[in-house]
Amino acid sequence: MEKILEVNNLQVSFHTYAGDVKAVRGVSFELEKGETLAFVGESGCGKTVTAKAIMRLLQPPFAEIKKESKIMYQDKDVMKMSKKELQAYRGNDVGMIFQDPMTSLNPTMTIGKQIMESLMLHRKLDKKQAREEAIEMLRVVKISDAEKRVDDYPHQLSGGMRQRVMIAIALSCNPALLIADEPTTALDVTIQAQIMRLLGDLKKERDTAIILVTHDLGVVANFADRIQVMYAGQIIERGTAKEIFYHAKHPYTWALLASVPKLDTENKGELYALKGTPPDLILEMNHCPFADRCEYCMGICRETMPEETLVDGTHRVSCWLQHPSAPRVQSYYEKCG
């Protein structure tokens, strides 16, 4: 398989009056062509910041990507790109779909003009060609009556259609990588399913790699090839969708899985809620970030950061209970299966 993205030791801080918020703390991963990787975790875990860092959308003076961080797109060093190179990278190489299509689209411009803008800037099409291509892109994202809809303003479309337009803009330059940041959060459940199906179809047709950012494990179940669970700016568990859904080993991943609504009667309609709050990201962290909320917490968890352990296949987890010399905690191993 062809590797298209490599992120190494990504560290991002936000400068605030209270101190530097270390939002991403040494995240590393790779992505292959046509692969779908999901970043999962609760709000503030660093998943969106990681996605924005890949696009180099975080700029000083408020945000800082530390110089130790390395982001390689194919053979291009994203951290060293000039303004002009970044402009070509964002659009031609990587497209991004944002959370809320209503605020991401310009309300004063027709959707056609917004798609055309990207085509004229990145693919250097003239006005006529760009309009024809914009109509074609609306068809690709399955908007009916594309010739008429192209002259609509965003407020004339439903939430689901607006998100389709965002996908059309992101895909208009045929990028090899699409970053979808909570693409269905602002939509109702049936439209969510349609948008995920559309993304899945487009991925198959165009062999586009996708990074999907979401707090909802339910959304990635049938969609992602691999999943990275993030907590307090770090990846705490990663593996294939099967490894995470059926063989999760980290207590935080269990909590996330337990909070997904199920149709069986086991939870009698009540969803699991994890107690406590994530750690203060201003503080340095030399121990397990989940220690304060973990029912299996041991002395070492509060003293030393757990190393990432290879469990099986591609499945890795950062938890002291996976260390070869860890005590056999019966209840933990029973839950591991």
Residue closer to ligand SF4, measured from CB, 90 or 315: 315
Helix (H) or strand (E) holding 331: helix 330-336
- In the block, tokens 């208009």 appear at 172
Using CB under 6 A as the binding rule, whether residue 296 contacts ligand SF4 is answered as yes
Smallest separation, CB 237 to ligand SF4 (Å):
10
Using CB under 6 A as the binding rule, whether residue 297 contacts ligand SF4 is answered as yes
Query: Among residues 252, 172, 233, 208, which one has the least CA distance to residue 37?
Result: 208
Tokens encoding 134: 């914009």
Number of residues that bind ligand SF4 (CB under 6 A): 14
Tokens encoding 311: 């469990």
Residue closer to ligand SF4, measured from CB, 223 or 320: 320
Strands 209-214 and 36-40: parallel
Site map (CB under 6 A) of ligand SF4, residues 218-257, x = contact? --------------------------------xx------
Using CB under 6 A as the binding rule, whether residue 53 contacts ligand SF4 is answered as no
Q: Which stretch binds ligand SF4 (CB under 6 A): 53-61, 62-70, 176-184, 313-321?
A: 313-321
Query: Among residues 31, 30, 38, 32, which one has the least CA distance to residue 200?
Result: 38
Tokens encoding 70: 């390395």
Using CB under 6 A as the binding rule, whether residue 321 contacts ligand SF4 is answered as yes
Using CB under 6 A as the binding rule, whether residue 95 contacts ligand SF4 is answered as no
Q: Is 188 helix (H, G, I), strand (E, B) or coil?
A: coil
Question: Which parts of 187-250 fold into alpha helices (H)?
Answer: 189-206, 217-220, 241-247
Using CB under 6 A as the binding rule, whether residue 41 contacts ligand SF4 is answered as no
Alpha-carbon gap, residue 12 to 244, rounded angstroms = 26
Smallest separation, CB 52 to ligand SF4 (Å):
27
Residue closer to ligand SF4, measured from CB, 182 or 243: 243
Site map (CB under 6 A) of ligand SF4, residues 255-294, x = contact? ---------------------------------x-xx--x
Alpha-carbon gap, residue 146 to 135, rounded angstroms = 6
Tokens encoding 14: 């936000």
Smallest separation, CB 209 to ligand SF4 (Å):
30
What is the CB-side half-sphere exposure of residue 85 using CA atoms within 13 A?
9
Using CB under 6 A as the binding rule, whether residue 306 contacts ligand SF4 is answered as yes
Q: Which residues bind to ligand SF4, rule: CB under 6 A? A: 250-251, 288, 290-291, 294, 296-298, 301, 306, 319-321
